[in-house]
Structure 1
């Protein structure tokens, strides 16, 4: 069908636009804290479980070390994390929250509530969107089992 190549019909564009819009909404809320959205994501992982290696953070955030290292250096400069080279394996670097980094958690929790209120979507809609996005990412990261059909608008 000729309409299949229209931008507004593309799932890839809808997801791209949604991701950029969400990052932008967070960025506006994070600016007063002096954080970027990617830095916030690193802090989210550390608030769940502190003392992660760079490799563990990269795996969790789906980032390579070339992307993650500058983020971590900046967070360290801001006094939010500290990096320590492990003595057992000189190659392993552990990232720990500082007291200041841990203290931002409560401010971040209120940011999320404010953003949720701004979206004017029900908790059920947001939960369904979250589940579908996670399912999509899992499916997209798995090896392709075949050729997508033309109806798959990806």
Structure 2
């Protein structure tokens, strides 16, 4: 990956420019799903930006669902297709294909028609989107709790 060319006509904020370049790398397959993204330091060097600017670029991609972050490990490319949505090669787990009473769905038995498959795909996409949003919310809550714990520790250490 080469450094981004400098352009005085580019009026985008630096974090947006970096996010656009990284998005292009991901969507063109230069960085594949599951691969770890370059470190913040590497992004700083590549784009000639500050630490917070590189973080902001990753946050943009995380909000778009192109990345996920594992605390202490780094950021990784999420599974996606060219449109930024979930992979069409995704196979639903067996528990999802089973009906509420534990019997297999028609789709699992091979009797479902094209309309059933489309409806199941739409439902699965909605379910995955909801799960992704819930994970994001939980991650934000987790970060807030970590900040509160750090504040409590700092307050406790400052007491005589």
TM-score normalised to structure 2 length: 0.33
**Rg larger in 1 or in 2?**
2
- The structure whose residues are more often helix, as a share, is 1
Give the alignment's TM-score, normalised by structure 1.
Answer: 0.35
Greater RCO (Cα-Cα under 8 Å, separation 6 or more) = 1
